[in-house]
Amino acid sequence: MTSKEHTTQLVAEDSERVRIDAKGLHYRLLNERIREAIGDGRKYIEVVNVCGQRYIGDGIQAQVRIDIYGIPGNDLAAFMDGAEVVVHNNAQDAVGNTLNSGRVIVHGDAGDVIGYGMRGGKVFIRGDVGYRVGIHMKEEPRRKPVLVVGGTAADFLGEYLAGGVLIVLGLTDTARRGTVVGDYCGTGMHGGLIYLRGAVEDAHIADRFAEKREATQEDLQAILPDLTEFCEVFGYDLDEVLAQPFWVVRPSSRNPYGGSYVPNP
């Protein structure tokens, strides 16, 4: 069956808006529907009944908003450049993989390896995230990726971080039962900054690679626009967020594995 024969899946609302019913739709066909809608000039795409379909929004280079109702599968918004994706539920692994620009908003929890290799754009997660979030994020002079987690992060947050900003706020019930971050935070990091709000034990920081200190007012001013945006998106009170202490985790070396290799003769 060709893609054009599936146009009954589309329910047009007006010339700029369209709704796509993803129920029972293979992920390849769903992504074809989304790209067709963008090609037709739609600026607002609502995707309903999503249940694990992968690669939604991947590689899109357009000023378009995609609202997802349901739980999308892995690699949501990978390599995306300019669009906005809003998930009104949880998301799975690898959200924002190598994101170039644009914004991803998740109103629930998200899985592992969020923001892998991000080069720009913003990812806002309201809830908790899993393991190895923010691996190898990097930045350029003209763009800096930002990943904000409203809840907690598991082990290896910011592993091999090379640039950008990671912020974990500890606003969920999970955070109230313990620390906001798991073990080995900052392992191998050699750039970028990690901001942690609330309880953070020294034992959770990979001290061979990173160092922790209390955030100054200058530090908080640097992330204030991102905190303000996050609070506006999810309806948090900015003053309440700022009422708790923040910690900054930064690399202790720009070349953490410099002594681990055999030098050239």
Q: What is the pLDDT of residues 218-243, one digit of tens each?
A: 999 999 999 999 999 999 999 999 99
The helices-and-strands tally (H runs, E runs) of the chain is: 4, 12
More confident residue, 174 or 167: 167
**Residue 212 in this model has a pLDDT that exceeds 60:** yes
Mean residue pLDDT of the chain comes to: 91
Predicted confidence (pLDDT) at residue 71 exceeds the cutoff of 90: yes
Does 54 share its domain with 143? Answer: no
How confident is the model at residue 255, as a pLDDT? 77
Q: What is the pLDDT of residue 8?
A: 36
Please tell me whether residues 249 and 140 are part of one structural domain.
yes
148 closest CA partner among 228, 252, 82: 228
The CA distance from 198 to 168, in Å, is 9
10: pLDDT strictly greater than 50: no
Q: Which residues contact 137 (CB under 8 A, 6 or more apart)?
A: 115, 117, 118, 119, 145, 147, 158, 161, 162, 163, 164, 166, 192
102 in a domain, yes or no? Answer: no
Indicate if 116 and 77 belong to the same structural domain.
Answer: no
- What pLDDT was estimated at residue 175? 72
Q: Provide the pLDDT for residue 262.
A: 55
Please provide residue 39's backbone torsions phi and psi, each rounded to the nearest 5 degrees: -60, -25
| Residues of the domain holding 63 | 8-91
Provide CB contacts within 8 A for 164, sequence distance 6+. Answer: 118, 134, 137, 138, 139, 144, 145, 146, 147, 192
% of the chain with per-residue pLDDT over 90 = 83
Average pLDDT over residues 67-91: 98
Token pair in block for residue 228: 């303000």
Residues 183 and 75 in one domain: no
For residue 68, pLDDT over 50 is answered with yes
DSSP 183: S
Residue 254 pLDDT grade (very low, low, confident, very high; cuts 50, 70, 90): confident
Number of domains in the chain: 2
Q: Compute the distance between CA of residue 203 and CA of residue 253 in angstroms, rounded to an integer.
A: 19
H/E element holding 224?
A: helix 217-234
Please check whether residues 78 and 120 belong to one and the same domain.
no
Give 23: exposed, middle or buried? Use CB within 10 Å, 0-12, 13-18, 19+: exposed
140-156 burial code (b ≥16 CB/10 A, e <16): eeeebbbbbbbbbbbbb
d(CA 47, CA 114): 21
The mean per-residue pLDDT over the stretch 192-208 comes to 94
Residues 6+ apart with CB under 8 A from 225: none
Among 220, 224, 208, 209, which Cα is nearest to 247's? 220
Residues 118 and 154 in one domain: yes
pLDDT class of 102 with cuts at 50, 70, 90? very high
Q: pLDDT of 136-152, one tens digit each?
A: 999 988 899 999 999 99
Question: Which position has the higher pLDDT, 15 or 89?
Answer: 89
**Co-location of 179 and 216 in the same domain:** yes
